Each structure stands twice: as C-alpha cells, then as structure tokens.
Chain A
C-alpha cells in the first residue's frame, strides 16, 4: 500500500477544497506506455529473463492444471488443446450465453462450472492465479483488443465513471494520478499510467503473483477509500475501461511490477 506523506495529504486536502482543476479527457492513445517503461533496468531484466522471472512458477503450475483432469471432468486441454493463444488480450468480454461481462478469472471459473462440473476457484487462490497467468502468458506480445460497443457499452461507461470519480479520504480519482500526473514522483516511486497489461503480475512489494483486482484494491486503499471485494462487478467494469484505454499495448503477463 502506498502511504502518502503528511505534506502530500495536506496538499490533497487543499486540492479537495479548491475548485477542481482536473479535466475529464482520456489518456491520448499516442501517449500510452506500458508500466514496464517505468521500471528500473534491473527489474526490466528480471521480467525479460524467462527463467529468473518468478511469475513463471505460477505459469508452470497453471500449465500443469490446464492439462490435468479432476475425476470424470474433462481437462481444460480436452477442449482447448495446447492453449488459448491471444484469447486473454480480448478480456474482459461479454459472455454470449448470459450477457454478463467476464474477466479472465471469471471466464475460467465459469468454464469450470459449466463444462467441467467443478466448483469455482476462490479469487486470488494460487490455483486461479496459476490458470489465469498461464492463459494470459499465451497472449504475451499480443496487442490488447477489447470490445466496448454493444452489450459492453454500459459496462465501459460504468468503468470510465469509476476511473474519473474522486474517492476516499484523499478525494482522488484514478484519473488524477494516472492520466494527469504519470511520470512524476509520488514519494520514492514514479507514477505509472495504470495499465493492466502485465497482470496477473509478480509485484516485488507482494513477493508474490497477484491479480489486477488486488492491485486496484491497493490503489483504493492508498487513497483511503474502502476497497471492493475481489471480482466485484464494479472492478470488472473498471478493468474493461482500463483495457480499452490500453488497446494496442502488448500483453506482458507474467510481468514484474514494483
């Protein structure tokens, strides 16, 4: 969790009391930069080394789960063969059968219930992270390409609203840090643009692989707002807005992030 210094907290309070200087324009597509570009050379090297990158511990585990059967249920590989190259780059996406917006975690759990007759895995469990990381890793290098029209349009609007709404004791929106102040310093850290293209990612702060929702919960806690539950529909809508904002950016999961 990022803790703001008293000085910064005071500045945030002053900002909250004065007329809002913020705009509501989206990040220009030409400015879009991966979180990778904000890392130190050492951390970039850790991500690039496909052996030393500890995210692959989860990818290996996910590959084993993908090919293994539990009881009479078919394995993931029974239907999907070697894997799902490029699929993760299109999520969150609308499920044709129910009309619900699903992120990758939601899709994997829905597949387990619908086709494998298995219980859903707990969000943020090592098994769900492993399966998500394995499927996402098969889209590494594939540009993000999510659809925001049709049934996804209201979700996109909700997600965008979440991004632009000030919240928490610090009264800050995602937009104020990640659109208006990216590249500047927040205490010892450089503010990134807040893209999710590396998730599930291995965060050095966590010393573990974690989901995008875990990262967003940290941001919400950082502005002293109450974090939503893992898998909350509001977070999935936000995830859709974040992905559309990063459309064209290459997937990097399992990335290393600070």
Chain B
C-alpha cells in the first residue's frame, strides 16, 4: 500500500495558471548506503514522474539517486478545459503507481 497525496484545485478559470502538488511514499534508496552489517543496500528509486492532462503530457521529471525519500513535487500548468489530471510514477523495476484528480474549468 503506497500512499499518494495530490493537491489540485477543484475549479479554475480558463487560462488560469494553476499550482499542482504531488507527494508519494517511497524510500528512494540511493544504492550508495551500507547497512549495519556492512552490506550494500541495493538501489531502489523512482526514475520517472509524469503528469497527464486529459492524456496530454504537461509535466515530467527524471529522478536520480540524490532525491530524498517521499519525493514532493510542485509545478504549474495552464487550465485550458475541464478534465482529468493523471499523476504517474514509475520505478526502476517498471512498477507504476498513479492517481487522478478532476478539474472543472469555467
């Protein structure tokens, strides 16, 4: 069970710049650390984040080992029409988590 938190305004005026926030629970283990017995802790990170607005990519980010656990992103987009925003994270093994929020544009 991976917790995801999204912040998307419920309504916006057409062409308004809206702020989007996304937080996901993930250890973002860098692969450079060692455990208490000296063994290397294997790398386990999210490598890709994408935000789709009615299926169209409006924001994406590539993640690398220096990003902290439970990565938090804040970004902006222009409200063009009522629709669905999908937030999608993919880890290095290809596992994917996603969540959606709907936006009503007036």
A: residues with CB less than 8 A from B are: 51-52, 54, 56-58, 60-61, 64, 207-208
The reply to whether B72 and A57 form a contact with Cβ atoms under 8 Å apart is no
Q: How large is the interface on B (under 10, 10 to 19, 20 to 34, 35 or more residues)?
A: 10 to 19
The minimal Cβ–Cβ distance linking B99 to chain A, given in whole angstroms, is 12
Q: Does B58 contact A (CB under 8 A)?
A: no
* 25 examples of A-B residue contacts, CB within 8 angstroms: A51-B5, A51-B21, A52-B21, A52-B23, A52-B72, A54-B23, A54-B25, A54-B69, A54-B72, A56-B5, A57-B24, A57-B25, A57-B70, A58-B3, A58-B25, A60-B3, A60-B5, A61-B1, A61-B3, A64-B1, A207-B27, A207-B69, A207-B70, A208-B27, A208-B70
Query: Which residue on A lies nearest to B24, using beta carbons?
Result: A57
The minimal Cβ–Cβ distance linking A80 to chain B, given in whole angstroms, is 21
Q: Which residues of B contact A60 (CB under 8 A)?
A: 3, 5
Chain A binding surface SS class? helix
Q: Does B17 contact A (CB under 8 A)?
A: no
Known: A51-B7, A58-B25. 9 other contacts (CB 8 A): A54-B23, A57-B24, A58-B3, A60-B3, A61-B1, A64-B1, A208-B27, A208-B69, A208-B70
Q: Which residues of B contact A56 (CB under 8 A)?
A: 5
When chains A and B are docked, how far (Å) is the Cα of A37 from the Cα of B21?
Answer: 27
Q: Which residues of A contact B3 (CB under 8 A)?
A: 57-58, 60-61
When chains A and B are docked, how far (Å) is the Cα of A208 from the Cα of B1?
Answer: 15
When chains A and B are docked, how far (Å) is the Cα of A26 from the Cα of B3?
Answer: 41
Q: Does B68 contact A (CB under 8 A)?
A: yes
The proximity string for B residues 22-34 relative to A, scoring 1 for CB distances below 8 Å and 0 otherwise, is 0111011000000
The 4 A-B pairs at the shortest CB distance, nearest first, are namely: A207-B69, A57-B3, A54-B70, A57-B25
Q: Which residues of A contact B27 (CB under 8 A)?
A: 207-208
Query: Which residue on A lies nearest to B25, using beta carbons?
Result: A57
For window 71-86 of chain B, which residues contact chain A by CB distance below 8 Å?
A: 72
The minimal Cβ–Cβ distance linking B28 to chain A, given in whole angstroms, is 8
